[in-house]
Structure 1
């Protein structure tokens, strides 16, 4: 498989063969399981290890466990894995390593869709809200791709800057309409990533994002090819427009399901694919499982950290991820700028 024309970061020191193979995946799964257990046990309500493995349906602690903690942990895993893979697809179709749904207007468009639902049909079921948010996210992402095609120069640093400006315009429009209709407080529910309100019956939309992530794995080779450009795709017999549309739909639906369920999780889809690509390269078929697992691990780690910093209170995961992700994003940009001279 040829290397794609993505503006990727320089490769780090190659990892040992055992790490890039099944040994690394096994270790990553063990870390995921350990963090999942920590996520289940950590919180304002004390849950001991014995409660986890000897749950009684009549016990109050067990009810907290299965009504709140387990659904929250599952939601974190599903959201982290699917958002990381969506970011990877975004980078493939945009052919730029410095973009992801929250930096190109996809997340902002989904939030605008949620505001439209709150104003026009506030009683719409969760699935309906997700559908509206997905349509808005799809339109916003498509507009960004049209802008991208018309850029005179496809500079590696210009694309993310244009994306940030475009995302800022959408967020400003959302804030304006929210202020106009006295909904500023309401939009905080889906613009700040927070899993503290996740309960049984309120996270199941994220299983849709898992299905879309699996679909992305099956289509990984196609996304790798379109990441090489339209001409290469045509030479290899891959329908560029069709798979571009498939990628946009996956990104929009994954973003919408996460925004509707827990709010905005910034930068996750940017930093995880970049870190994985330093070890695994740009071949999506090989690295998509790594991206999904690393996304889930990072989400769990940030959520547990947010619950421990000011225990028994907690910092929203969107805040933790925003600080960490923005620092890494600036580091990536600075490294690329130094590389370009």
Structure 2
């Protein structure tokens, strides 16, 4: 049986993670990136079998082409691309990209709802897509191509979700693009008050985590999806004004807060917290590192709360829901006691 071949154009966080996932699934992956350092890091990290000298060289002979650059770069690549291979992209906006790829025989717009605040191939993980929703744009696309992409992303452990390009762009404006702007706005507001940031704790950190993401990439995403983003920003602003009016008039907001709590409970937890007790002795963090390597989990966050006298404490590791049990087992094997 011949090895399947894929071309990866763009080796940032998502692209390099795609390369790792493809190679794990049995594909041979050739890649190219306009940044030689990013390309070298992707090769060194095992995301590619080989580095190509150009995008054209990478694509030559490939059965699958993955465009993993920012939206404008993807649009430019699509404008000049001629291939009979199956082509997908992984950018966070779909309408302009699907228009740009409409001339290809086998183009499917996609978007994995996965990522992390770190950027670049050095932060890539082959497990990044496990348990994540992966949008597959199914309007004006051949049914067999949609099925082929669904099978591909399922092999990565992701959950395929069919949507139109317009449905996707409105949805991500609400659940991805708006939160990015809100995180930056919250930090900007806190910066205005000298006494605020020193008091920031877990809830503020959780709400603003995405502000660590690449500002260049996000400027482009917001611009390419500006219609939906501006509409949702104005709608959200009106909601805030209404809440401010109620608080000012001493009208209870209990029903509003109760409804939001009920809605939040319907969501699967984005992460599972695994708490491990650390003793005040050498080698504890090294043993945690061995457990992380053995379980191959994707750590989304970690926090260390020191003991009363500063030694030892409780380390909280936040991982994807499907990975918590593997991490608990590895930590137990290393001799740790887990906190409830």
Q: What TM-score bracket applies, with the shorter chain setting the length?
A: under 0.3
The structure whose Rg is larger is 2
Tell which has more relative contact order, 1 or 2 (C-alpha 8 A, sep 6+): 1
Q: Which has the higher strand share?
A: 2
| TM-score where L is the length of structure 1 | 0.25
- Superposition TM-score, scaled by structure 2 size: 0.25
Tell me which protein shows more helix as a share of its residues. Answer: 1
